[in-house]
Amino acid sequence: MLEELGAEPVGMPVPALPQALSKGTVDAGLVPFEVAIPLGLADLTETSVELADGARFGTATFLFAMNKDSYNSLPADLQQIIDEQSGIAITAAMGDAWNDIEPVGIKRALEAGKTVTQLSAEATAEFAGPFDATVARWVEEAQSNGVDAEGLLEKSRAAIAANSQ
């Protein structure tokens, strides 16, 4: 996506971003506001940009997983506790925590005297071309590896729509 937008992506672990920004190795980063808080990014950047309605330029998937053999080695009562406290039970709590912390990151940036801009629907629409090109590129790459990319994309979009607030 960054390439489609004319930028040169620089891959790095997120904890390396503050140093890269302070040294001028990178000009910007795509991170959620909740990540900006512990990294102190409000002190290292001047502007943050959101798409219309608070949409982001990207997203990440977080996976909470346990090794199957380790799980199977546990006694049944501990497996039951894990089963009851994971899956859909933790999903809602994690989503709420994420939604609750994002405004804190925005507030932190504003309190530091930085600009937080939410683009209009019209300005956001200008990104449709590069975003669509990025998706098309992924579909092509995934399909070349035997993945039902169109089916996965359709299911993903349906899940996002059904679970977005």
Q: What is the pLDDT of residues 9-50, one digit of tens each?
A: 999 999 999 999 999 999 999 999 999 999 999 999 999 999
pLDDT value of residue 165? 61
Mean pLDDT estimate for the chain: 92
Q: What is the pLDDT of residues 132-152, one digit of tens each?
A: 999 999 999 999 999 999 999
Does the pLDDT at position 64 exceed 90?
A: no
88 band by pLDDT with thresholds 50, 70 and 90: confident
54, 52, 45: which is closest to 17 by C-alpha? Answer: 45
Burial of residue 17, with CB atoms counted within 10 A of its CB: 0-12 exposed, 13-18 middle, 19 or more buried: buried
Residues 6+ positions from 83 with CB-CB distance below 8 Å: none
pLDDT value of residue 15? 95
Share of the chain above pLDDT 70, in %: 98
